[in-house]
Chains A and B, each alone.
Chain A
Amino acid sequence: MARRPASLRALVAAALLALLVPFAAPARAERLIVSVSNARVTVTPNYSGGELVLFGAIEKDHPAFTETAKYDLVITVLGPRSSMVTRRKERKFGIWINTDSREFLMVPSYLAVFSNRPTDAIAPLEVRRRQQLGISHVLLTQRIGTDYADVVADDQFRKAFVRLLEDRKLYREDAAAVKFLTPTLFRTGIPLPAEVPIGSYDISIKLFAAGELLTETDTSFEIAKIGFEQFVATAARQHGIIYGLVTALMALATGWMASIVFRRD
């Protein structure tokens, strides 16, 4: 009876050691330090698009021991999630009508993948899939009938979905957007189109060397309406009937004023 707790303790210790070993193992340890130029972008009446800048540095724990490796960076910006539906037109009875459709569930409304060189040169396919590098590997869940799945990257609905959002500058991939200022200091611009979705954005920064993930970090920024825009948008969403009545009254007042101003008798 007395021996059993001791053996249990030994077991736990062994398990803890086994867990710790992989973390202690890498000889090189890098850390990423990043900062966005503006953590809160406000949409004002004269907003017509803009650009954020992300700066970062790669910090090494033991600079003396490690030779400077060739680093690669993949930065993925994910906007607020929403569901969308893609429909395909087909010719029926001489006219073009919507026939087939796919629903994309909780997919990013903004998606940008920036890297310092093409992602297929940075990491092998298996790593790109696992780390969701590039638009073709980012998970876009579709509902097909009762199934929920992401399909192969060259599925025509997925391709059309990505193409339509690329046309609206909401999805983009740029393999030359990340610039190394020094071997360990980098920057990239995050362009925001005029019709940018409101909400919080996550930025995931992944550091690679020789096709392997060394480390990763996250940061975020927010796009918010303020002042009058915010007031109108909130009123419309939360007090729909009152908002509608006020708009209707505004219409009546405008019409009445016009008939006074332009009255000819």
Chain B
Amino acid sequence: MIRHRSSQLYASVLVNSLYAMVNYPVTLVNTLLAPLSILAVVTFASHGTLLPVAAEGALIMNMVGSGTAMQGDLSHLKNDMRLQDMVVSSPTGPGIYVAGMAISQIVYSLPTLVLLAIFNILFVHLTAIGALILAADMATIFTFAVSLGFFLSTLSTDIVQSWAFAGILSPLLTTIPPIYYPISYIPLPYRYLAYISPTTYAAQIAQSQAGFAALSVLQTAVYWLILIIITLIFTFIAVKRSRWRDV
């Protein structure tokens, strides 16, 4: 028989997003709530002045949240459903499985992405090049988050552990770092701590495209380099150290 890679990818999209969305439409509200709630809080607290920054930041958060949420989904399907074991004993390999699950996260958050895209079109004025750079920025940070999510999911032994990972990652990667607000709002000794999170670099690149942050060409290049290196390191770790077959 001819095995279709696209079908193997699509299987994960069906299992992890489309069937859930069709059978439980309430899940769509769930994906909208997290980025929109922080967007609303930041907008109200700043009397509307930070709405454009927060709208752009919500896109970054959505990508990171989707990637890290994958570790919860993967852990659930692996530990509670044993679906991953069934897939291990099938022609689908780990790369296709994870890629499918990653795409499923994007599909799952499509309503949010569409809504945030509308906000960005209305409030953030990007050039065509700027929009492309933002898209590349979002794709890179999503790859980082997916790699981290897959790595953690293969280590987690039950869903409670996975919830703990999610609870740690969410504030460290999306709530605390300067994604929804300019980095200059963080007082100086603490500002350096923000650079521990790769999302800071992604947000800075995005903000500079919209004119919310002033980065030199050299700074932009260095931020891209750091972001790409961190992503490559986590992708490498995910590929090499994750356990597809138990030991």
Binding partners A and B: no
